[in-house]
Amino acid sequence: MKVSIRKLKPNTVLPNFATTHAAGMDISACIDEPITLQPHERAIVPAGFAIALPVGYEAQVRGRSGLAARHGIMPANGVGTIDADYRGEIGVILLNTSNETFIVEPDMRIAQLVIAKYEAVEWDLVEVLDETDRGNNGYGSTGK
């Protein structure tokens, strides 16, 4: 699948797959100077590119497991969604969940981008939903 992408700065590192079978493309910080994230602070880190997704697709901005495991750095909104009609610069809202200062360096890999197909739905308002074995049981009801 081809997706149009536009570099917004000459030094932009375009999203790229680190390995042959990776699902997510690495997103790098497109900054001229380091950004300091104090403990429990968040900041939008620009990525330096914009994309034009086809209708029916979204781009998911996800965390990098190494940053989360080693430094407590993750996207503040869990998984960010980029809609097919958005044409602005992609940014990553990074949150420092640790008690230590973290420095985001220029060109540092800060997140992953996964392109996913989705279905638009129309709600069918009903009085009763069909029955299942699980029913209303949730929040840990399927085991420990």
Task: Return d(Cα 100, Cα 40) in angstroms, integer.
Answer: 9
Q: How many residues can be counted in the chain?
A: 144
pLDDT given for residue 144 in this prediction: 66
Residues ≥6 apart with Cβ < 8 Å to 31: 45, 46, 104, 106
pLDDT given for residue 137 in this prediction: 80
Per the DSSP assignment, residues forming a β-bridge with 104 are 35
pLDDT given for residue 139 in this prediction: 82
Residue 28: burial class (beta carbons within 10 Å; 0-12, 13-18, 19+)? buried
Average pLDDT over residues 46-62: 98
pLDDT in tens, 1-16: 999 999 999 999 999 9
Expressed in percent and rounded to 5, the helix, strand and coil fractions of the chain are: 5, 35, 60
pLDDT in tens, 74-101: 999 999 999 999 999 999 999 999 999 9
Within 13 Å, how many C-alpha atoms sit on residue 52's CB side? Answer: 5
Per the CB < 8 A criterion, the answer to whether 73 and 97 are in contact is yes
pLDDT given for residue 141 in this prediction: 73
Task: Return d(Cα 85, Cα 59) in angstroms, integer.
Answer: 11
pTM for this model (two decimals): 0.88
